Structure 1
Amino acid sequence: MRYILASKSPRRREILGNIGLEFSVVTADTDESCSLTDPIALCEELALRKGLAVRELLQSKDELDPEDVIISADTVVECGGHILGKPADRQDAKTMLELLSGKRHRVLSGIALSVGGETYVSHSESFVCFEELSDADIERYLDSGEPYDKAGAYGIQGLASIYVKGIEGCYFGIVGLPINELDRLHRRALGRSLLG
């Protein structure tokens, strides 16, 4: 049995590595366009798609053992009824940060675990409260390059941490991989913790 992380995210790799889990990373092109308007359904659907795309890729190469465990995730931010994924460009990132400025918003991370032809899906829900951001704050953060590969155009674990007044929920879910929820799925699927 091997663990396969279906994600390019260095943050997700770091979270799994922090618990001592040995895993490989395999990614596949995934259609992330989706007409779902419910953020919970959306993050779960996109996490599921990523895992299934990797499963299909490995099966097509005859490189998937029935005991292999595929882990996939997707994160979205919701604020004032707007669902925020990764920004398309600088202007998109700026618009997102202006929307989040001074507000409490919801961060949802969908997670999927696939093993032996069965797939288990769940999510974590957390809340982040941002300080008011000045135009200069936003421009400086945009110039850092950090917001462009992150849902909601910010990373709580990086430079944007100075704008965070508080959080409720799972820090790791906000970063992008709710490890506690992943362990729950693992127990459901395999009858034991990720730690053994």
Structure 2
Amino acid sequence: MEANAPPFKLILGSSSAARRKILADMGYQFTTMSADIDEKAIRKEKPEDLVMALAEAKADAIISKIQKTENLEKDVNPTILVAADTVVVYEGVVREKPSSEAEARQFMKDYSNGHAATVSSVLVTNLVTGSRRGEWDKVEIYFHEIPDQVIDKLIEEGIVLYAAGGLIIEHPLIVPYVKEVVGSTDSVMGLPKALTERLIKEIL
């Protein structure tokens, strides 16, 4: 097999533009499907358990969608489904997408001169054999002081309202105020490359 023609089909179980870009950067060709699950219905004490449970729920929802529409057994090549989830943890508390502009502003003020962590899960399922491997990855992010006018601009623009914990670190406005990232940026953006790569290899 040539390197550019992988012997398997890949489905990314996410509608996230950042995850799509990361997977494409890794050199994979893939299709995307999103899971329509009620994420708020899933609750776990530990963020690591929460992101794994959410990735599993997403994968299960997508698999039941696929089973209704196509028969996978006919495929000689395995179909691999990659599901993922990311939450932000601040002072031990899990943060999801801000519910309002006021909450987004408060989140960013908390990060100013402080730090937060992201916990990301990756769950890879071989849809032909049914085998599944998943792990989580944690990244710590430290910030300098973030000026109020930068926070105002980010809220006006609106992207932070759709980011877990109102946390974005790759945005040009925020980049100057990121002091240190302990871990990989792709993990913060929702899909740790090295972990994803390893799980795909293990599942084949």
Q: TM-score, normalised by structure 2?
A: 0.87
Number of aligned residue pairs: give it. Answer: 190
Question: For 1:188, what is the secondary structure of its paired residue?
Answer: helix
Deviation at 1:54, TM superposition (A): 0.8
Question: What secondary structure, in the 3-state scheme, does the structure 2 residue paired with 1:30 have?
Answer: coil
Is the 8 Å Cα contact of residues 46 and 74 (structure 1) preserved in structure 2? yes
Contact 1:11 1:176 in 2 (8 A): yes
Query: Which AA in structure 1 matches 2:112?
Result: S
How far the C-alpha of 1:97 sits from its partner, in A, is: 1.2
Q: Which residue of 2 aligns with 1:37?
A: 45
- Partner SS for 2:39: coil
Q: Partner letter of residue 98 of structure 2? A: P
Instruction: Give RMSD over aligned pairs.
Output: 1.6
Per-residue CA distance 1:25-75 (angstroms, 9 max, x = gap): 111201212221211111111112112211111111125457210001111
Hey, what's the Cα distance between the residues in 1 that align with 2:156 and 2:168? 14
Query: Is the partner of 1:49 in helix, strand or coil?
Result: helix
TM-score under structure 1 length normalisation: 0.90
Partner AA of 1:141 in structure 2: L
CA–CA distance in 1 between the matches of 2:71 and 2:176? 44
Q: Determine if contact 1:55/1:64 at 8 Å carries over to the other structure.
A: no
| Partner SS for 2:99 | coil
The residue that corresponds to 1:148 in the other structure is 161
Unpaired stretches in structure 1, ≥5 consecutive residues? 191-196
For 1:182 and 1:13, how far apart are their aligned partners in 2?
Answer: 13
- Mapping for residues 1-196 of structure 1, pairs under 5 Å: 1-33=8-40, 34-62=42-70, 64=72, 67-115=78-126, 116-159=129-172, 160-190=174-204
Identity across the alignment (%): 27
Contact map agreement 2:13 2:32 (CA 8 A) in 1: yes
Q: What's the CA shift for 1:163?
A: 2.1
C-alpha contact 2:14 2:34 (8 A) present in aligned 1: yes
Q: What are structure 2's unaligned runs of at least 5 residues?
A: 1-7
